[in-house]
Amino acid sequence: MADVRCKTQTNLVNTWLTVEAAYQQTLISQNLTHLAQLQTNFGALQRRAEQLLQLPAIAGILRISQGLVRGGRFGPGRFGRGMVTFRAP
């Protein structure tokens, strides 16, 4: 109880958050160009991934199994349906 009372009396949580936010704003300001480039790159990767997900699966490369996950260390059926398996072409 004394710990909570001390934190409340000293306004520790609000002070901590204010200082942390100021540090973050400074780092963002100092790295704005790099962060903008990362955001642009991520957007392009995300759009490409969405395009690839719209393509039909190529036989022999990616198969979506509708069966139950069986065996292994997780036991039969533990994770339900939709196991993804990768196979060499």
Q: Give the pLDDT confidence of 12-47 residue by residue, as tens digits.
A: 999 999 999 999 999 999 999 999 999 999 999 999
Instruction: State whether 43 and 5 are in the same domain.
Output: yes
Residue 76 has pLDDT above 80, yes or no: no
Percentage, residues of the chain above pLDDT 70: 63
Instruction: State whether 46 and 69 are in the same domain.
Output: no
**Residue owning tokens 């100092």:** 30
Instruction: State whether 30 and 67 are in the same domain.
Output: no
Contact between 65 and 82 under an 8 Å Cβ cutoff? The reply is: yes
Instruction: State whether 75 and 49 are in the same domain.
Output: no
Instruction: State whether 84 and 46 are in the same domain.
Output: no
**Closest listed residue to residue 88, CA positions, set 47, 68, 59, 45:** 59
For residue 83, what are the domain limits?
56-89
Specify the amino acid at residue 71: G
Number of domains in the chain: 2
Instruction: State whether 51 and 61 are in the same domain.
Output: no
